[in-house]
Amino acid sequence: MPASVDPSQLSDLFAQHRQEISIWEAACSAVEQVLSDIARKAWTPARVEARAKDSGSVLGKAMRENELDLRADCFRDLAGARIVVPFDSSVPSIVEAIHGDERLEVIKEDAKQPGPDQLTYRGVHLDVRLLPSEEFASDLLGVPVPLYCEVQVKTSAQSLWSEMSHLIAYKRDLPEPILRRVNRLVALCELFDTEADSAMAAAREEGTDTAVIGAQLTRLFYGLTGRTLHAITDDSLLTELVESIPAAERAAYPSTILRFVEDYFDRLRFALTDEPEARKLPLLHRPESLLIFERLTYAPFIFSAYWGERYDPRTLDSLRSVWGTPATSASD
């Protein structure tokens, strides 16, 4: 940018951005939906956020980059999104899913991988373009500009460091000792991610069949409903329901319930998200409902008899009516 900025040029840029801001806000909504779908299909609880860059930020970038054309590559972040996952081990599968989603085209990927002697931010940034799709809002179809978005994939720890470093050091010339302090926090974030992954792996190995099945039900329930605050502890209901599964099948049941959910994804999603409050069935708000529907599908008679010995049969009849007429298992 010249030393003396021409106010009329900035005024024109400002006016153009304000005229197009609704397009970028709609693009953010579309990308947010895509990323939410990706997280749910990966059975990964994630926080997804998206927002359009405001005009003040656009003008600041125009002055820093000496660029007044909103179609320039440096303005591919007019829409920005991030998907924050709990574990570092989840990042590669999310990035792979973004590459494979037919609604997006990945233009550039930048994996922030510091060297062994460096302390700096880690995460994956992707520049993506929204591809034409009837799924998106009508105001995104046939727009005269390419719809780009910068997508950041990071862990909760990496996201926390980004927020703190932005507050302390973003676009500021700070003394080296202060910058070193900020970067030292990265080591804590890396340790946090490593320990979190290791702890989760150990918990899966050490958990009882009931605990492992409960964790899988919770994960799958999130993928179907997007609701994350319904984790199962090893409570009496789950223990009783697991007892309905033959002992020889319990170790493999996490794989069994995964195949069931994949086979009946749309049907389950409808049953659990189509106004469950109106049905007045509390279990539709709980991950245990997946096990009940699976048993009603593949072992209906045995499960019905088991349920009737312990709980009110009318509750199971109501759940059966939601699920529909079950198939009969050969084992029954």
Q: Which of 84, 52, 63 is nearest to 148 (CA)?
A: 52
Instruction: Give pTM, 2 decimals.
Output: 0.72
The per-residue pLDDT for 229 is 58
DSSP 8-class letter at 72: S
CB 215 within 8 A of CB 202: no
How far apart CA 327 and CA 325 sit, in angstroms, is 7
Token pair listed for 147: 């719809």
How far apart CA 259 and CA 13 sit, in angstroms, is 53
Write the CA distances from 279 to 152, 273, 275, 282, integer angstroms: 39, 11, 7, 9
The boundaries of every CATH 3.30.460.10 domain in the chain are: 7-155
Q: Residue 141's Cα: distance from chain center in Å? A: 25
Burial code of 106-115, b = ≥16 C-beta within 10 A, e = fewer? eeeeeeeeee
- Ramachandran class of 140: left when φ > 0, alpha when ψ lies in -120 to 50, beta otherwise: alpha
CATH assignment, 7-155: 3.30.460.10
CB 160 within 8 A of CB 143: no
Identity of the amino acid at 18: R
Q: Which of 193, 267, 276 is nearest to 227 (CA)?
A: 276
CB 101 within 8 A of CB 128: no
The per-residue pLDDT for 104 is 92
**Spatial CB neighbours of 222, under 8 Å, sequence gap ≥ 6:** 40, 43, 45, 228
Question: What is the full per-residue pLDDT of the chain (332 aa) written as tens digits?
Answer: 344 456 677 888 888 888 888 888 888 988 999 999 999 888 888 899 999 999 888 888 888 888 888 888 888 889 999 999 989 999 999 999 999 999 999 999 988 776 666 666 778 999 999 887 666 655 565 666 678 899 999 999 888 888 887 777 666 677 878 877 877 888 888 888 889 888 878 777 766 888 889 989 998 998 888 876 555 555 788 999 999 999 999 989 999 999 999 999 999 988 887 776 667 788 888 899 999 999 999 999 999 999 999 999 999 999 999 998 544 444 44
Q: What is the DSSP string of 106-173?
A: EEEEEEE---TT-----EEEEEEEEPP-TTS-GGGTT-SS--EEEEEEEEHHHHHHHHHHHHHHTT--
The per-residue pLDDT for 123 is 83
The per-residue pLDDT for 328 is 42
Query: In the beta sheet, which residues pair with residue 148?
Result: 129
How far apart CA 4 and CA 236 sit, in angstroms, is 73
The per-residue pLDDT for 326 is 47
